[in-house]
Structure 1
């Protein structure tokens, strides 16, 4: 039996999860144990335009961090690209009133 190549790949590790996928002016990340020593987050609008970027160093004991200052972004749907080391994670977010 031949197993398709995609079935043999290991699922990627989750770098972090968000407290909520709906935000107003702040994103709060809950870090996984496998999080890299640094994280980069890029927030893109529904057309793919980069609206905001954030980079931070992560301490081994750090469990969460906040990305403040997103209140100037227009309301709508965004894609968050989170990367650390070789891992990358995409999330769909909504900014609301």
Structure 2
């Protein structure tokens, strides 16, 4: 919409405005308690490989689809067994 009326160069002003507003956003964030949290690396890797395999299948139509399905299934099992998964199964 902006590029139709003002030109594509004005799209960079949106990014510039967002960068200018970062200090304001930072002051509005709630203070979180410092705690030891672990990142679910296995969940991130399984989901990433599954999405990558699905996108490769869509774009090239090769046999990567089966590995993507396997990764999605392993990811689904992983998030249901983990105490603090990468994506909570409650939101699905």
TM-score tier, shorter chain, comes to under 0.3
Q: Which entry has the higher C-alpha Rg, 1 or 2?
A: 2
Normalised TM-score (structure 2): 0.23
Q: Whose relative contact order is higher, 1 or 2, with alpha carbons under 8 Å and at least 6 apart?
A: 1
> Which structure has greater helix proportion?
2
> Which structure has greater strand proportion?
1
Normalised TM-score (structure 1): 0.22
